[in-house]
Chains A and B, each alone.
Chain A
Amino acid sequence: MTTNSYAIVTENLTRRFGELVAVDQVNLAVGAGQFFGFLGPNGAGKSTTIRMLTGLLEPTAGRIVLLGTDLQQDPVEVKRQIGVVPEGLALFDRLTGSEYLNFVARMYGLDRATAAQRTQELLEFMQLADRPKTLIADYSHGMKKKLALAAAVIHGPKILFLDEPFEGVDAIAAGTLKNMLNRMIARGATIFLTSHVLEIVERLCSHVAIIHKGKLVAQGSIEELRSGVESKIADAATGAEAVRPTGQKLTLEQIFLEIVGGTRATEQELSWLA
């Protein structure tokens, strides 16, 4: 893959908060058209990374190149081509859903007719059209997520950044979101998402990267990561004991736990709960 075929490239991306190095020299390369999952335990640096990639946070060091353009050099041009659903969502609570989508469309430079047409289509697709007079403040959490995603795609971005899009969302809303994301991939967009729900990531994403304590510890397609971990396990076990039934693939959760070194600690007990 040549440099131009990458949608997202970071070079030694670093962010410090005082003494704490939240993101430490991360080198990411996400190919155009990939559905990319960015994983890591709590506090690993996922949100910090996505905030830097979307221009919400300034890196301490390093470089971000999106669609061949340096984010720091030309932020406006880069932002024109990306869509973002940030953590906590970027909604204006005192607008109605349609007012908000129209506002966003205009800010991205869409003309009046296109803005109005896309707003209506998106509201209907996201099943939000039946409450046109309701303020966003009165939306449920799932409705807000759907609206935020609608706003992120209204201008037809080439890259979509999603920070925990499925957090606190019920199965019906999650279905609508997944449907929308698959449509985006089908039209050639690149999707970069962080999520704690590894089953969803495994089902949706073709490629993943894992960040742990600020450092990138794995990157590649899920198959590449799986074979890497399987050979590591095989080497460690030296054929003495099988870690799983023969023929069964490692799940993404097992791969993730192997890579970040986490265990489901059951042996450790709390004295007052014993």
Chain B
Amino acid sequence: MRAGSGVWQQVWLVAGLRWRLLRNSLRSPRKQLELIGTLLVTGLGGLVALGGALGFAAGSYAAVRRGSPQLLTVLLWAIFLAWQLLPVLIAAFASGTSLRGLLVLPLRFRAFFLLHLAYGIFDPAGIIALVWLGGVLVGVGLAAPQGLAANALLLLGFALCTLLLNRLLYLWLERLLARRRTREALFLIFVLTMFGLQFVGLAAERWGKNLAPLLQQVYDWTQILPPGLVGAVVAGGGSTGAWLGALLGLCGYGVGCGWLLRRRLLAQYRGEDLSETATVHSAQAVEEKAAGKFLWELPGVSQQVAAVFAKEVRYLLRNGFLLLNLFTPLFFLVFLTFALTSKEKPGVLSRGPDVLFPMAVGYAVLVLAPIGYNSFAFDGRGIQFFLIAPIRFRIVLLGKNLLLGMIWVAEFVVIWLWIGWYAGLPRAALTLLTLAAMAFVMLVHFSAGNYMSLTYPQRFDFGKFRQRQSGMTVLVILAVQLVVLGICAPVFFLAFRPQTLWLAGAVFVVLVALSGKLYRWSLEHCSRLAERRREVLTEELCKG
């Protein structure tokens, strides 16, 4: 890339580079399968996007026809927030490519800036939000064809503001998450926010009447923000002056966000170092009481399994995102029990602990299961040690599964205690059945997860935000979840009837025995598989 190259030429060269990287990566069958998996998952996402677009079109049509700026504002807020929040929620499908690597080339700053915007547009969240915004445009156009051009301009301005803000937030989040201390602070804030958000609905239910004037006030204030500005003019049928005012407001937001984004990107462009190696002081904060503390003994397992287990515990405690994943089910559990056991809302979910307990455990399983599908993600070059150590690979898998299994069991116990305290203890038979169901599901997931960890390993870095899971792995997780749900749900229906409870118990005993056999077989199989796939494991996990 020559220093004299034009901005657009550089952008085009980078686009060509991305295309070649994709094309070259498809040389191996594994990568081809991965692409198929990603395409299938993307197809599902596309259906969601198109379905949403239809809803947004209908909603915005109704808002304009009825002259309801509130409705359109709410729709635009939904798109606005989705564009900002979806990237966090669908990190698994997001692009893992960093543009920082390009800075060794004489890339112009404007090209760097434009490439960042392009990544924001072609990000799954960006595409979904733009499709939804297209739905809004169609709805508005059908309702008021005469003002289509003017409204389209406002919606374009809205999209641009949202895109700039999205990139700005993403870059700031990336910067804050790169440093351990700020990451820990953010983690705490995130947890507290999540916890607090769960009670918003409950608070509204309880103090709803008193909150109404406050909410109206909040709505009035937010009218000066992009969704409010656009919603008021497009659905309110404002004058040319109002239209101009809204456009100027959007321009103001755009310029403000663009200026801040430029500052952030300039810092990167000038060589800002986000690695944790740059912050030795923060590393000193890591606690290590004594070397001897690492020498754990676990009853019933070999010292090698105990060593892997101890290493996994250290890694878990130093990995905020993983911790968050593990504890998320418990936060939602608190919310679910409050929200779904209301005496004023009779229904299936308010029948008490016998229904609530298996459901809560099921929810925890949904969140916990995917973690074991890329077990070596954070090991990086350490994978080489597992391959040169004098052990069979099953030892490594056992150590890793042991920790995850203990977390599953710990969450089971916490859920049982919480439900017991809040809604009364579930019947002993139901508790045992749920435990058996969890054991069955856990062993199936561990078997599949060990296999996928060896077949589709993906390296994750601690300090990086939004890292991509293999498309095929995501697909397999979905499939396994559906299969085990399809097996467990009917058995639980049997369990809820006293006369068939014994049958449900018998079925689960058989299922646990079978899954135990499957797990034992898979450990042996994976041990041999790891021998055969040494090359792939080291190639994938040692790169970078």
Query: Do A and B share a complex?
Result: yes
Could you tell me which A residues sit within 8 Å of B by CB distance?
Answer: 54-58, 75-80, 82, 84, 86, 88-96, 98-99, 102-104, 106-109, 112, 115-116, 119-120, 132-135, 137-138, 151
Q: Which residues of B contact A84 (CB under 8 A)?
A: 388
On whether the beta carbons of B314 and A138 are closer than 8 Å, the reply is: no
With A76-B391, A108-B389 known to touch, is A137 a contact of B384 (CB < 8 Å)?
A: no
Contact of B314 among A54, A94, A116 (CB under 8 A): A94
Stretch among B141-149, B287-295, B470-478 lining the A interface: B287-295
Q: Which residues of B contact A135 (CB under 8 A)?
A: 276, 283, 286, 318
Asked if B245 is an interface residue, CB under 8 A from chain A, the answer is no
Chain B residue at minimal CB-CB distance from A84: B388
Stretch among B199-207, B374-382, B442-450 lining the A interface: B374-382
Q: Which residues of B contact A99 (CB under 8 A)?
A: 288, 291, 294, 311, 314
Q: Show 18 A/B contacts (Cβ-Cβ < 8 Å), sorted by A.
A: A57-B534, A76-B391, A76-B392, A78-B390, A84-B388, A86-B388, A89-B384, A90-B382, A93-B462, A94-B315, A99-B311, A103-B294, A104-B389, A108-B389, A112-B295, A133-B285, A133-B286, A138-B280
Q: Which residues of A contact B392 (CB under 8 A)?
A: 76
Q: Which residues of B contact A112 (CB under 8 A)?
A: 292, 295, 297
Stretch among B38-46, B219-227, B301-309, B508-516 lining the A interface: B301-309
On whether the beta carbons of A56 and B538 are closer than 8 Å, the reply is: yes
Chain B residue at minimal CB-CB distance from A96: B288
Q: Which residues of B contact A108 (CB under 8 A)?
A: 389-390
On whether the beta carbons of B387 and A55 are closer than 8 Å, the reply is: yes
Chain B interface extent, by class: 35 or more
Task: Report B49-71 residues with CB < 8 Å from chain A CB.
Answer: none
Centre residue among A78, A86, A104, A151 by max chain B CB count within 10 A:
A86
Minimum C-beta distance from A123 to chain B (A)? 9
Inter-chain CA distance A57–B538, complex, in Å, is 9
Minimum C-beta distance from B252 to chain A (A)? 43
Minimum C-beta distance from A200 to chain B (A)? 23
Contact of A91 among B307, B319, B382, B538 (CB under 8 A): B382
Chain A residue at minimal CB-CB distance from B295: A112
Having A57-B534, A78-B390, one finds 9 other A-B pairs with CB under 8 Å, namely: A76-B391, A79-B390, A90-B382, A92-B379, A93-B381, A93-B382, A98-B291, A103-B310, A109-B304
Inter-chain CA distance A120–B294, complex, in Å, is 13
Q: Which residues of B contact A54 (CB under 8 A)?
A: 388
Contact of A116 among B287, B291, B462 (CB under 8 A): B291
Minimum C-beta distance from B226 to chain A (A)? 41
Asked if B344 is an interface residue, CB under 8 A from chain A, the answer is no
Contact of A137 among B283, B285, B379 (CB under 8 A): B283
On whether the beta carbons of A134 and B283 are closer than 8 Å, the reply is: yes
Minimum C-beta distance from B478 to chain A (A)? 30
Q: Which residues of A contact B318 (CB under 8 A)?
A: 94, 135
Q: Which residues of A contact B303 (CB under 8 A)?
A: 106, 109
Inter-chain CA distance A35–B142, complex, in Å, is 83
Inter-chain CA distance A117–B212, complex, in Å, is 68
Q: Which 10 A-B pairs have the closest CB atoms?
A: A90-B384, A106-B307, A80-B390, A92-B382, A79-B390, A90-B385, A138-B283, A98-B291, A102-B294, A112-B295
On whether the beta carbons of B304 and A93 are closer than 8 Å, the reply is: no
Minimum C-beta distance from A196 to chain B (A)? 20
Q: Which residues of B contact A115 (CB under 8 A)?
A: 295
With A106-B306, A107-B304, A135-B283 known to touch, is A56 a contact of B387 (CB < 8 Å)?
A: yes
Asked if B277 is an interface residue, CB under 8 A from chain A, the answer is yes
Asked if B499 is an interface residue, CB under 8 A from chain A, the answer is no
Minimum C-beta distance from B106 to chain A (A)? 17
Could you tell me which B residues sit within 8 Å of A by CB distance?
Answer: 276-277, 280, 283-288, 291-292, 294-295, 297, 303-304, 306-308, 310-311, 314-315, 318-319, 378-385, 387-392, 462, 531-532, 534-535, 538, 542
On whether the beta carbons of A116 and B315 are closer than 8 Å, the reply is: no
Inter-chain CA distance A10–B297, complex, in Å, is 39
Minimum C-beta distance from A120 to chain B (A)? 7
Inter-chain CA distance A99–B318, complex, in Å, is 13
Minimum C-beta distance from A259 to chain B (A)? 30
Centre residue among B286, B291, B391, B534 by max chain A CB count within 10 A:
B291
Q: Which residues of A contact B310 (CB under 8 A)?
A: 103
Centre residue among B287, B295, B383, B392 by max chain A CB count within 10 A:
B295
Chain A residue at minimal CB-CB distance from B287: A133
Chain B residue at minimal CB-CB distance from A112: B295
Q: Which residues of B contact A106 (CB under 8 A)?
A: 295, 303-304, 306-307
Q: Which residues of A contact B297 (CB under 8 A)?
A: 112
Inter-chain CA distance A93–B544, complex, in Å, is 13
On whether the beta carbons of A86 and B276 are closer than 8 Å, the reply is: no
Chain A residue at minimal CB-CB distance from B380: A93
On whether the beta carbons of B388 and A58 are closer than 8 Å, the reply is: no
Minimum C-beta distance from A185 to chain B (A)? 21
Inter-chain CA distance A76–B391, complex, in Å, is 6
Contact of A92 among B284, B286, B288, B385 (CB under 8 A): B385
Minimum C-beta distance from A45 to chain B (A)? 15
Inter-chain CA distance A98–B385, complex, in Å, is 16
Inter-chain CA distance A8–B272, complex, in Å, is 48
Chain B residue at minimal CB-CB distance from A107: B389
Inter-chain CA distance A58–B286, complex, in Å, is 39
Q: Which residues of A contact B284 (CB under 8 A)?
A: 133-134
On whether the beta carbons of A98 and B288 are closer than 8 Å, the reply is: yes
Chain B residue at minimal CB-CB distance from A58: B534
On whether the beta carbons of A120 and B534 are closer than 8 Å, the reply is: no
Inter-chain CA distance A132–B311, complex, in Å, is 16
Q: Which residues of B contact A58 (CB under 8 A)?
A: 531-532, 534-535
Inter-chain CA distance A20–B311, complex, in Å, is 38
Inter-chain CA distance A54–B292, complex, in Å, is 30
Minimum C-beta distance from A269 to chain B (A)? 22
With A56-B534, A58-B531, A92-B385 known to touch, is A107 a contact of B391 (CB < 8 Å)?
A: yes
Minimum C-beta distance from A17 to chain B (A)? 9
Centre residue among B310, B319, B385 by max chain A CB count within 10 A:
B385
